[in-house]
């Protein structure tokens, strides 16, 4: 299964992380929306890992280390055992 998502993530002092907005949709491998697809796979991955661990694992090294609000966009491939994130973009919006 594939998903695309966009999230707004707030990074606070002491590496605290809050996910303020998450929009996701299931897509085909080609990126086309799946009608009535699963729209909570990324949310479930976040809940399993915890928001802070999820965000720190996902972001590129050296990115999003300052206090602020960040926009995160990516595609994810899920299987029974893992979630592989592709084309991850993380940039500060505030």
Domain limits, the chain: 2-92
Q: Report the run of H or E that residue 3 belongs to, with start and end.
A: strand 2-11
Place of tokens 């995160």: 72
pTM for this one?
A: 0.88
Instruction: Give pLDDT < 50 ranges for the chain.
Output: none
Q: What is the pLDDT of residue 28?
A: 92
Question: 10 forms bridges with which residues in the sheet?
Answer: 18, 69
Q: What share of the chain is helix, strand, coil (3-state, %, to 5)?
A: 20, 45, 35
Task: For residue 12, give both structure tokens.
Answer: 């606070």
């Amino acid at each position: 299964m594939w998903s695309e998502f966009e999230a707004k993530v707030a990074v606070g002092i002491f590496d605290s992380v809050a996910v303020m907005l998450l929009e996701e949709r299931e897509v085909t491998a080609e990126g086309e929306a799946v009608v009535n697809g699963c729209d909570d796979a990324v949310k479930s991955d976040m809940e399993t890992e915890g928001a802070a661990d999820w965000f720190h694992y996902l972001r590129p090294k050296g990115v999003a280390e300052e206090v602020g609000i960040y926009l995160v966009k990516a595609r994810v491939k899920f299987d029974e055992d893992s979630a592989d994130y592709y084309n991850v973009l993380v940039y500060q919006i505030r």
